């Protein structure tokens, strides 16, 4: 589903750039993520020089993305979830001007969306203090040294230690996965949707909305609207839950190990919302034999005719590939 006909740039400063790559990496529509330095007054900054807090640079990430696949608004949503926007002196244990937060906008459209997103976050009262994250014009961006690129992949043990020890992980959990978030979800979801997506309960087979759906359209995450599956990849369910041979975009779904009745199973989650979806089985159609067995309560169906004119119109082709 990737389409790189009109790539754009997005630049975000969110404290230590080691921690700002993984949340965006390997998502559909994300072509590349580069860690680097921007917003300063010296040329060719280095990790050591920026660390002296005399160059004026921010540690930042620059993302090349396809807005048709992953809109800038969704990048902003992900960005806010990684930072403490009320901290003007750095981020978590990292103190100093190079660790300040900022959104560097590349055009007027991005500026308007960033300002609206900032107002929305302030109005949500999720944060006790005033949001101080600045919205600034994009400046010259200098890629960081090779050792700082994709640090979570090249130094996985050090990265996990740092991410946990910095306080970022605890902050993110408190503000985005705490009791307030659970109450908001309870108010938006039905009881069945909440039990499935948040408590990992399994709905009854054959007694759910989409197990035998034959209409053309797509299925999105009931929590946040992420496009997950298409009816063209749905096959007659052998188990009483909606069955798909593949997802719309591989990067929007994560797999994790679990156990059921003492046996290992592969569990499915929506990557961006964390919602539990169902299980991956291996009794599907040839040749891959993949069977994404998904709870109806985790999905919202959008008929083909309702896709026209929407951002999800790119998924509206239901002919032969």
Show the domains of the chain with their CATH numbers. Answer: 8-177 (3.30.1060.10), 191-315 (2.170.150.20)
User: Among 219-233, 253-267, 269-283, where is mean pLDDT lowest?
Assistant: 253-267
| Catalytic site residue from 16, 30, 131, 138 | 16
Mean pLDDT of 122-134: 92
Residue 194 has a pLDDT of: 97
pLDDT tens by residue, 289-309: 999 999 999 999 999 999 988
CB atoms within 10 A of CB 290: 17
To the nearest whole number, what is the mean pLDDT of the chain?
94
Annotation says 16 is catalytic: yes
Asked if residue 241 has pLDDT above 80, the reply is yes
Residues 210/222, Cβ–Cβ less than 8 Å: no
Asked if residue 2 has pLDDT above 60, the reply is no
User: Among 18-27, 122-131, 144-153, where is mean pLDDT lowest?
Assistant: 122-131
Residues 127/117, Cβ–Cβ less than 8 Å: no
Residue 4 has a pLDDT of: 46
Mean pLDDT of 12-27: 97
């Amino acid at each position: 589903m990737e389409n790189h006909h009109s790539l754009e740039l997005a630049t975000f400063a969110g404290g230590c750039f080691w921690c700002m790559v993984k949340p965006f990496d390997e998502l559909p529509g994300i072509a590349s993520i580069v860690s680097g330095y921007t917003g300063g007054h010296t040329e060719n900054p280095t990790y050591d020089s920026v660390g002296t807090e005399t160059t004026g640079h921010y540690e930042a990430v620059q993302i090349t993305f396809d807005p048709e696949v992953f809109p800038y608004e969704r990048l902003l949503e992900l960005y806010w979830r990684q930072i403490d926007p009320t901290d003007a002196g750095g981020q978590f244990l990292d103190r100093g001007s190079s660790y300040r937060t900022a959104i560097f906008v590349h055009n007027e459209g991005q500026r308007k969306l960033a300002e609206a997103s900032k107002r929305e976050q302030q109005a949500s009262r999720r944060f006790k203090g005033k949001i101080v994250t600045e919205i600034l014009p994009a400046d010259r961006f200098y890629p960081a040294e090779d050792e700082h690129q994709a640090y979570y992949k090249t130094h996985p043990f050090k990265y996990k230690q740092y991410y946990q020890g910095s306080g970022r992980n605890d902050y993110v959990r408190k503000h985005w996965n705490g009791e307030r978030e659970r109450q908001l979800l309870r108010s938006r979801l039905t009881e069945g949707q909440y039990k499935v997506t948040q408590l990992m309960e399994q709905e009854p087979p054959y007694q759910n909305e989409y197990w035998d759906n034959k209409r053309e359209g797509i299925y999105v995450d009931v929590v946040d609207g992420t496009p997950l599956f298409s009816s063209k990849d749905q096959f007659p369910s052998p188990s009483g839950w909606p069955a798909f041979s593949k997802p719309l975009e591989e990067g929007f779904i994560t797999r994790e190990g679990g156990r059921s009745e003492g046996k290992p199973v592969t569990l499915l989650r929506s990557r961006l919302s964390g919602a539990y979806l169902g299980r991956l089985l291996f009794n599907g159609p040839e040749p891959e034999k993949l069977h994404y067995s998904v709870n109806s309560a985790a999905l919202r169906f959008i008929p083909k005719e309702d896709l026209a004119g929407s951002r999800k119109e790119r998924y509206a082709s239901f002919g032969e590939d």
